[in-house]
Chain A
Amino acid sequence: MAGAAGPGTGPGAARGDGDDSLYPIAVLIDELRNEDVQLRLNSIKKLSTIALALGVERTRTELLPFLTDTIYDEDEVLLALAEQLGNFTGLVGGPDFAHCLLPPLESLATVEETVVRDKAVESLRQISQEHTPVALEAHFVPLVKRLASGDWFTSRTSACGLFSVCYPRASNAVKAEIRQHFRSLCSDDTPMVRRAAASKLGEFAKVLELDSVKSEIVPLFTNLASDEQDSVRLLAVEACVSIAQLLSQDDLEALVMPTLRQAAEDKSWRVRYMVADKFSELQKAVGPKITLNDLIPAFQNLLKDCEAEVRAAAAHKVKELCENLPTEGRETIIMNQILPFIKELVSDTNQHVKSALASVIMGLSTILGKENTIEHLLPLFLAQLKDECPEVRLNIISNLDCVNEVIGIRQLSQSLLPAIVELAEDAKWRVRLAIIEYMPLLAGQLGVEFFDEKLNSLCMAWLVDHVYAIREAATSNLMKLVQKFGTEWAQNTIVPKVLVMANDPNYLHRMTTLFCINALSEACGQEITTKQMLPIVLKMAGDQVANVRFNVAKSLQKIGPILDTDALQEEVKPVLQKLGQDEDMDVKYFAQEAISAVAQRLTKLDFPVKDNEEPSAPGADKNHFLRPRGPGEDTGKGPAHQLHVNTRDTPAQLEIAELVHFS
């Protein structure tokens, strides 16, 4: 596979006998012959070491020719090679010799595989900066020209990415040539090349003199923007952003706008989509005047485009567009020219459009101010909160903070609650998961009373959800809530309910108690942990289900640092020792893990350091030295642990995960 026949140096040639100088290359050649791709890849990744061992001169005269002539390998190996060569200038003797790296990269820039080619171009661009102006014209520019006139489209595609790096430093005569080559690639017969040229048009325009931009780039742009392939036309839209930045308002109006208007109404939705997607950039590039005259009407059309894709892309840009309007007169423009279209989108037939809108619409309230928000936007928010598609509701809820700043959340709370409850009970667990993640945010905005009254029961219900991911998220949600509302609140509202579950007939719920204790103990502090939680944990050590018992061991290890020495010594240790004699090997394993962790802590605490300042501290940092081997969460460690993967839960979760697509 690796056709490696060295330039006169067999692998054994240098080995053994006196001359050691070619030894590294002999090894490389030998390694590149290996059947195992991984080994070949490894040796290419160590190319810099080989070059160092060879020294700059031999790298130039031996290694690079070898790499140029003989490498035919898997794309993966070639990719690694292309990457390595980009950083090789120092290894061949600095900028004066940078051109030695061009031949191997040139051939890599012509291979079929796009990833390799792109990497080779990237490395070439990097190296071009290291060339002296003379070397650039003597070596680099000819390479670009060769690539640009290659037979096969791959080399011409690669050439497109190299014009902009060599143009600024070339002499005028050469510049003209470079422009000529670029022009011909823009009208290449192969669409792939035209696409590559179109995608580099903006970049190239930026390094050109203004006159050439007007006389050469603009016509190219106009041509590409009316190409027969929509895949080419849409790339011209991107170039439009860069070109527009370079031109004066008058030139813009005369040279670019006709094409842009045409693109916004292109018959292919892909082109229109691109206009919508790049709208903010375009808006900034053309300036406020043209925006008002041209872009706003175009935007209105995009908002009511016949393809949902286009509408969704435009809807995403609503907020940015409004933000970037000149402050003077902004409100009027939004109210009269944008809002009516937004209102339509709220009841769009396509859920992606609605959810795109929902993800930005709240942002308008800061722009429009309190009164307008209450009068015009609030009805839209409320409508979206009742939308049939959960994603729309979620997007609204996740952005509540914007509205909170402007009108306060109370305005919304009446509608908010049913929406939250419905999401909390959605049949899709990913939806439930998403709403759980917003709970701490909501709790912060709605305040503790509202929360206790309306949302607390939801949070508790999630603890006994039938999907593990939800129970897990609910557990960490509790922790965040405690951080927000304080330990006293925890003691009164959360802890009792959690502890009751320890007697639940379902072992999964009993385990949830343990997981909650793991999460809450740090936030609750020593007193609550010792007085209320520890007894429950210890009691559960007698559970009949092994999973519960070994989780007791893990919990004890976890809360150990929070407890004081007495509790550890007198209560925890005996229980762990008993678990250490358990008949189940996993329970034994985790008990022993916990025993050693606790024992370490006990010995540490024999020194009277820091004993008393610890309890209420979060303790996370201090745990490091206590538990050098990583605590119980490393579940992979149990020898037969997999036997206990609880069969009812995990598969159920996986099954759902595979079927539900939720982006």
Chain B
Amino acid sequence: MPYKLKKEKEPPKLAKGTAKPSSSSKDGGGESTDEAQAQSQPQPQPQPQPQPQPPSSNKRPSNSTPPPTQLSKIKYSGGPQIVKKERRQSSSRFNLSKNRELQKLPALKDSPTQEREELFIQKLRQCCVLFDFVSDPLSDLKFKEVKRAGLNEMVEYITHSRDVVTEAIYPEAVTMFSVNLFRTLPPSSNPTGAEFDPEEDEPTLEAAWPHLQLVYEFFLRFLESPDFQPNIAKKYIDQKFVLALLDLFDSEDPRERDFLKTILHRIYGKFLGLRAYIRRQINHIFYRFIYETEHHNGIAELLEILGSIINGFALPLKEEHKMFLIRVLLPLHKVKSLSVYHPQLAYCVVQFLEKESSLTEPVIVGLLKFWPKTHSPKEVMFLNELEEILDVIEPSEFSKVMEPLFRQLAKCVSSPHFQVAERALYYWNNEYIMSLISDNAARVLPIMFPALYRNSKSHWNKTIHGLIYNALKLFMEMNQKLFDDCTQQYKAEKQKGRFRMKEREEMWQKIEELARLNPQYPMFRAPPPLPPVYSMETETPTAEDIQLLKRTVETEAVQMLKDIKKEKVLLRRKSELPQDVYTIKALEAHKRAEEFLTASQEAL
């Protein structure tokens, strides 16, 4: 049954069925696209399972919507909460308007219908006046209130009235949005002095938020209005607009990025002509992030949007999209702040594999290439993602990658960092993975056995011992004969090991001698001899232990299955910095426009 679930991609259709707004699209072509997009109210999606369910016997389907980006990355629990003297607020420098004295205009609903359009435009123009919220928060209080009320009224107006988005409104609304929002973001300021760390520092909130929020709100309603016609809007919402919008994704304020995400998602859905451009520009942001700066605040949000886009890709996948997977999504694993956006990234990758299983091999090879060498928490994330991939892998694909894959897993189970070893050993509780191993036992066991066996005694962490015994026991039950062979081979290899080392030294010695014969030798002084590579092995079981092992496996393979905490947060904050109550509250108060992004169907 799960097989079938995987094939039927239900979400977009489901969305179409539930909330079908009247007259959603007049712009011809791509009807299905617009319909899938046009639900104006945040529709509670069938609550996606937060994490994969306990192991089922077969591949699991993944979620239909990308995992939403956390508003606050920091878990507010442990550290002391303090109110800091300086509020964590800063603001982009807006070009303040010279004349900021706003006159209160009559309410839209009280004015005669024929004058409403004119009044609406007036109000939009009024809202193009910008105020100062940082250097003097108390300035122009009266006029700020006029603008706030005006924006509020327009949000109501555009949401609840029909036929108010007339042709004259488009340029005005887009201008109002651009004037208020398009700005150079301020340098990230971290009061503790060090560089801003996206993984654990609190974001600086935008001081002008009381106005910005309403501007965003209004624009979103504008885009979602049933009267909204992309054909007219595309004159104003063009490439330049999108580029400026994308620049804002680097904002430190998560509330702003949340709005941007939803807005960009809507634009992507409604403006077919902009789609390729948007994807290309997002790629540029990613390249810069990966290869140049390693710093950008909006990666998770962008990936979330991409997750919904990938979800809607038509089959067979275009070459361009495959390149995106290999050249953008995989290198994103390399960046050191991976934890900030990993759930969204993993979702995108798994979406691709569910669409086209032949991509499995390059993806796994890529993951192995970027496998973290020293960053253990990141390694745990890789293991999480890899398990998600294995959950949807086709057996034929599995056999292509299993050898390098299990060589890496062998390293992971031998990791001195117990969380890494533990996470890798949890794979033995996944029945689908076990069935894949079982089908390929002859090739997998010889790779895994030495690592498991060596650590069955030597790992410092007792929990790991239990898990290793559990794994060994499963192997033993899988194929008794093969298990015995592996044991014998291990014994033989162990003896050969030292001999090899010596052989290598002799080999290089011989080359060195040959090189000496070359008259150029003195000019190219070979680099000073490198320190020999010592293996870290300390206490490994001897061959005699093998008999013992067989007996103990039975008893020691504790029923690890039971007490494995499924949802263990393996990420730890690097330090407990005091947290600012104001920031926490501001973030908690933010209401998302939409909890989950729906798939954007690809135009065919």
CB-based contact A50/B193 at 8 Å: no
List residues of chain A with CB under 8 Å of any chain B CB. Answer: 1, 20, 23-24, 27, 31, 35-36, 38-39, 42, 45-46, 48-53, 55, 74, 87, 90-91, 112, 114, 152-153, 190-192, 195, 228, 230-231, 267-270, 306-309, 658-659, 661-663
B530 at the interface (CB under 8 A from A): yes
B105 at the interface (CB under 8 A from A): no
Show 17 A/B contacts (Cβ-Cβ < 8 Å), sorted by A.
A24-B511, A27-B511, A36-B533, A39-B504, A39-B533, A42-B530, A46-B508, A52-B518, A52-B521, A52-B524, A53-B517, A55-B518, A90-B523, A231-B288, A269-B186, A306-B93, A309-B187
A112-B331, A192-B284 given; A49·B186 CB < 8 A: no
Bound CA–CA A562/B529 (angstroms): 40
CB-based contact A48/B284 at 8 Å: no
- B504-515 vs A, Cβ < 8 Å mask (1 yes, 0 no): 100110111011
CB-based contact B288/A74 at 8 Å: no
CB-based contact A190/B511 at 8 Å: no
Contacts of B193 in A (CB 8 A): 661-663
Q: Tell me the residues in window 487-513 of chain B with beta carbons closer than 8 Å to chain A beta carbons.
A: 504, 507-508, 510-512
Cβ 8 A contact of A269, one of B187, B287, B369 = B187
Contacts of B287 in A (CB 8 A): 153, 190, 192
Contacts of A270 in B (CB 8 A): 184
Tell me whether chain A's interface is mostly helix, strand or loop, or mixed.
helix
Determine how close the nearest CB of chain A comes to the CB of B246; give it in whole angstroms.
Answer: 11
Leading 4 A-B pairs by shortest Cβ distance: A53-B514, A52-B515, A661-B194, A661-B193
Cβ 8 A contact of A38, one of B369, B504, B533 = B533
CB-based contact A91/B524 at 8 Å: yes
Contacts of A195 in B (CB 8 A): 292
- B251-282 vs A, Cβ < 8 Å mask (1 yes, 0 no): 00000000000000000000000000000000
Bound CA–CA A306/B189 (angstroms): 14
Q: Tell me the residues in window 460-506 of chain B with beta carbons closer than 8 Å to chain A beta carbons.
A: 504
CB-based contact A307/B331 at 8 Å: no
List residues of chain B with CB under 8 Å of any chain A CB. Answer: 93, 184, 186-187, 189, 192-194, 243, 284, 287-288, 291-292, 327, 331, 368-369, 404, 407, 504, 507-508, 510-512, 514-518, 520-521, 523-524, 526-527, 530, 533, 575
In the complex, the chain B residue whose C-beta lies closest to that of A662 is B193
Bound CA–CA A270/B243 (angstroms): 18
Contacts of A87 in B (CB 8 A): 524
In the complex, the chain A residue whose C-beta lies closest to that of B578 is A659
Contacts of B516 in A (CB 8 A): 52
Bound CA–CA A38/B535 (angstroms): 11
Bound CA–CA A65/B93 (angstroms): 57
A42-B530, A48-B524, A192-B291 given; A268·B515 CB < 8 A: no
In the complex, the chain A residue whose C-beta lies closest to that of B510 is A23
A38-B533, A52-B515, A52-B518 given; A269·B184 CB < 8 A: yes
CB-based contact B184/A661 at 8 Å: no
Contacts of B288 in A (CB 8 A): 191-192, 231
Tell me whether chain B's interface is mostly helix, strand or loop, or mixed.
helix
Bound CA–CA A25/B205 (angstroms): 60
Contacts of B186 in A (CB 8 A): 269, 307
CB-based contact B518/A53 at 8 Å: yes
A52-B515, A52-B521 given; A27·B530 CB < 8 A: no
In the complex, the chain B residue whose C-beta lies closest to that of A350 is B189
Bound CA–CA A49/B192 (angstroms): 51
Contacts of B327 in A (CB 8 A): 112, 152
Determine how close the nearest CB of chain A comes to the CB of B499; give it in whole angstroms.
Answer: 15
A153-B287, A192-B284 given; A53·B515 CB < 8 A: yes
Among B331, B514, B520, the most chain A Cβ lie within 10 Å of the Cβ of B514
Determine how close the nearest CB of chain B comes to the CB of A353; give it in whole angstroms.
Answer: 12
In the complex, the chain B residue whose C-beta lies closest to that of A352 is B193
In the complex, the chain A residue whose C-beta lies closest to that of B194 is A661
CB-based contact B291/A114 at 8 Å: yes
Contacts of A55 in B (CB 8 A): 518
A-B contact sample (20 more), CB < 8 A, given A24-B514, A191-B284: A1-B368, A1-B404, A24-B511, A35-B407, A42-B533, A45-B527, A46-B511, A49-B511, A49-B524, A51-B524, A52-B518, A52-B521, A52-B524, A90-B524, A91-B524, A114-B291, A192-B287, A309-B187, A663-B193, A663-B194
Bound CA–CA A74/B371 (angstroms): 10
Determine how close the nearest CB of chain B comes to the CB of A270; give it in whole angstroms.
Answer: 8
Bound CA–CA A545/B515 (angstroms): 59
Contacts of B331 in A (CB 8 A): 112
In the complex, the chain A residue whose C-beta lies closest to that of B134 is A306
Determine how close the nearest CB of chain B comes to the CB of A272; give it in whole angstroms.
Answer: 10
Determine how close the nearest CB of chain A comes to the CB of B414; give it in whole angstroms.
Answer: 13
Contacts of B292 in A (CB 8 A): 114, 192, 195, 231
CB-based contact A45/B291 at 8 Å: no
Contacts of B575 in A (CB 8 A): 658-659
Contacts of B511 in A (CB 8 A): 23-24, 27, 46, 49-50, 53
Cβ 8 A contact of A307, one of B187, B515, B526 = B187
Contacts of B189 in A (CB 8 A): 308
Determine how close the nearest CB of chain A comes to the CB of B507; give it in whole angstroms.
Answer: 5
Contacts of B520 in A (CB 8 A): 52, 90-91
Contacts of A90 in B (CB 8 A): 520, 523-524
Bound CA–CA A49/B511 (angstroms): 7
Determine how close the nearest CB of chain B comes to the CB of A330; give it in whole angstroms.
Answer: 33
Contacts of B192 in A (CB 8 A): 661
Contacts of B194 in A (CB 8 A): 661, 663
Determine how close the nearest CB of chain A comes to the CB of B512; give it in whole angstroms.
Answer: 6
Bound CA–CA A20/B193 (angstroms): 62
Contacts of A42 in B (CB 8 A): 530, 533
Contacts of A46 in B (CB 8 A): 508, 511, 526-527, 530
Determine how close the nearest CB of chain B comes to the CB of A421; give it in whole angstroms.
Answer: 24
Contacts of A308 in B (CB 8 A): 187, 189
Contacts of B517 in A (CB 8 A): 53
Determine how close the nearest CB of chain A comes to the CB of B367; give it in whole angstroms.
Answer: 13
Contacts of B515 in A (CB 8 A): 49-50, 52-53
Contacts of A27 in B (CB 8 A): 507-508, 511
Contacts of A191 in B (CB 8 A): 284, 288
In the complex, the chain B residue whose C-beta lies closest to that of A36 is B533
In the complex, the chain B residue whose C-beta lies closest to that of A112 is B331
Bound CA–CA A228/B189 (angstroms): 25
Bound CA–CA A306/B187 (angstroms): 11
CB-based contact A48/B526 at 8 Å: yes
Determine how close the nearest CB of chain B comes to the CB of A570; give it in whole angstroms.
Answer: 46
CB-based contact B284/A190 at 8 Å: yes
Determine how close the nearest CB of chain A comes to the CB of B292; give it in whole angstroms.
Answer: 7
Determine how close the nearest CB of chain A comes to the CB of B185; give it in whole angstroms.
Answer: 9
Contacts of A49 in B (CB 8 A): 511-512, 515, 524, 526
Bound CA–CA A572/B220 (angstroms): 85
Bound CA–CA A306/B91 (angstroms): 11
In the complex, the chain A residue whose C-beta lies closest to that of B514 is A53
Among A35, A46, A90, the most chain B Cβ lie within 10 Å of the Cβ of A46
Bound CA–CA A51/B514 (angstroms): 10
CB-based contact A267/B507 at 8 Å: no
Contacts of B404 in A (CB 8 A): 1
Bound CA–CA A268/B291 (angstroms): 22
Bound CA–CA A35/B408 (angstroms): 10
A23-B511, A27-B511 given; A45·B284 CB < 8 A: no
In the complex, the chain B residue whose C-beta lies closest to that of A31 is B504
Contacts of A306 in B (CB 8 A): 93
CB-based contact B530/A307 at 8 Å: no
Bound CA–CA A74/B373 (angstroms): 11
Bound CA–CA A55/B514 (angstroms): 9
In the complex, the chain B residue whose C-beta lies closest to that of A74 is B369
CB-based contact B369/A23 at 8 Å: no
Bound CA–CA A53/B287 (angstroms): 42
Contacts of A53 in B (CB 8 A): 511-512, 514-515, 517-518
Contacts of B507 in A (CB 8 A): 27
Contacts of A48 in B (CB 8 A): 524, 526-527
